[in-house]
């Protein structure tokens, strides 16, 4: 059955989602991508990678038969959008590349995106609204919490725990450790010990650079004080 689909956001990552939808449809036609919703007024009515920006996100309820996906790479904004739009009664879908290898023992939530050529090995748990980008490897029994984002070419060793609303930068390596809720791991870092909540770590080995809610774009949520 082919279902209508709307992507929240229209930036570069949302456009990559559109490409992922095309890839999924090449394998088996599953979605009719209607377009994007975006709160940037100058984007409404324009077209990106062949799909229109239909209106603002407040209009999500106007598509009661459509499925929805969040095309934003900031974990805190993913959380804010899910909490804002879910009460409208929308239905979320997963977008998983047909090139992804996932063992049958996996558990995957809703609103999840997994990009091409990623591997989820035995017993992985991926919670709701997680985004796993391309060429990611999750070892056995890895757990990834709600809204977290794992960037391209990341390797996460078996039994590691990635908390909620975390951001793991591109090319990072995460040993079998716990990454606390709200933490940010810098690109190309090697995480070899537990990471506290709400901090930024980076380097080889990764060290804490900032404790508490980090003051950079990954913490900015439209409409919240200090955004």
**Is the residue at 57 inside a domain?**
yes
Among 33, 60, 92, residue at a domain's last position: 92
Identify the band that residue 217 occupies on the pLDDT scale cut at 50, 70 and 90.
very low
- For 23, the domain range is 3-92
pLDDT at residue 113 tops 50: yes
pLDDT at residue 8 tops 90: yes
Closest CA to 35 of 130, 26, 57: 57
The reported pLDDT for the residue numbered 221 is 35
Whether 82 and 23 map to the same domain: the answer is: yes
pLDDT in tens, 115-130: 999 999 999 999 999 9
Whether 206 and 139 map to the same domain: the answer is: yes
The pTM of this model reads 0.92
The reported pLDDT for the residue numbered 212 is 77
SS (H, E, C) the chain: CCEEEEEECCCHHHHHHHHHHHHHHHHCCCEEEEEEECCCCCCCCCEECCEEEEECHHHHHHCCCCEEEECCCCHHHHHHHHHHHHHHCCEECCEECCCCEECCCCEECCCCEECCCCEECCCCEECCCCEECCCCEECCCCEECCCCEECCCCEECCCCEECCCCEECCCCEECCCEECCCCEECCCCEECCCECCCEEEECCCCEEEEECCCCCHHHCCCCCCCC
pLDDT at residue 215 tops 50: no
pLDDT in tens, 45-104: 999 999 999 999 999 999 999 999 999 999 999 999 999 999 999 999 999 999 999 999
- How high does pLDDT run on average in the chain? 93
Percent of the chain past pLDDT 70, that is, above it, reads: 93
**How many CB atoms are located within 10 Å of the residue 6 CB?**
24
Whether 108 and 58 map to the same domain: the answer is: no
**Is the residue at 225 inside a domain?**
no
Whether 111 and 55 map to the same domain: the answer is: no
Q: What angle do CA 152, 164, 116 make, to 5 degrees?
A: 25
**Is the residue at 38 inside a domain?**
yes
Whether 109 and 205 map to the same domain: the answer is: yes
**Is the residue at 104 inside a domain?**
yes
Whether 106 and 183 map to the same domain: the answer is: yes
Whether 170 and 194 map to the same domain: the answer is: yes
**Is the residue at 220 inside a domain?**
no
Q: Which of 121-125, 137-141, 159-163, 209-213 has the lowest mean pLDDT?
A: 209-213
Distance in angstroms between the alpha carbons of the first and the last residue of the chain: 41
Q: How many domains does the chain have?
A: 2
Whether 31 and 9 map to the same domain: the answer is: yes
Whether 45 and 152 map to the same domain: the answer is: no
**Is the residue at 222 inside a domain?**
no
Whether 100 and 36 map to the same domain: the answer is: no
The torsion angle over the Cα atoms of residues 26, 29, 32 and 36, rounded to 10 degrees, is -40
Whether 46 and 137 map to the same domain: the answer is: no
């Amino acid at each position: 059955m082919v279902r209508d689909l709307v992507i929240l956001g229209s930036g570069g990552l949302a456009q990559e989602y559109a490409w992922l939808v095309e890839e999924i449809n090449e394998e088996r036609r599953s979605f009719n991508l209607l377009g994007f919703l975006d709160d940037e007024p100058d984007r409404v009515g324009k077209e990106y990678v062949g799909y229109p920006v239909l209106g603002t996100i407040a209009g999500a309820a106007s598509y009661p038969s459509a499925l929805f996906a969040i095309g934003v790479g900031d974990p805190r904004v993913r959380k804010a959008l899910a909490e804002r739009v879910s009460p409208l009664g929308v239905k979320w879908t997963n977008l998983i590349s047909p090139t992804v290898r996932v063992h049958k023992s996996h558990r995957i939530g809703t609103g999840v995106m997994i990009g091409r050529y990623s591997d989820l090995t035995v017993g992985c748990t991926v919670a709701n609204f997680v985004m796993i980008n391309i060429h990611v490897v999750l070892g056995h029994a890895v757990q990834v919490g709600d809204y977290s984002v794992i960037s391209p070419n990341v390797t996460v060793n078996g039994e590691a725990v990635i908390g909620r609303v975390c951001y793991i930068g591109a090319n990072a390596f995460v040993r079998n450790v716990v990454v606390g809720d709200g933490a940010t791991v810098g690109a190309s870092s090697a995480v070899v010990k537990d990471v506290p909540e709400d901090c930024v770590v980076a380097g080889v080995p990764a060290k804490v650079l900032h404790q508490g809610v980090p003051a950079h774009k990954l913490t900015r949520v439209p409409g919240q004080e200090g955004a």
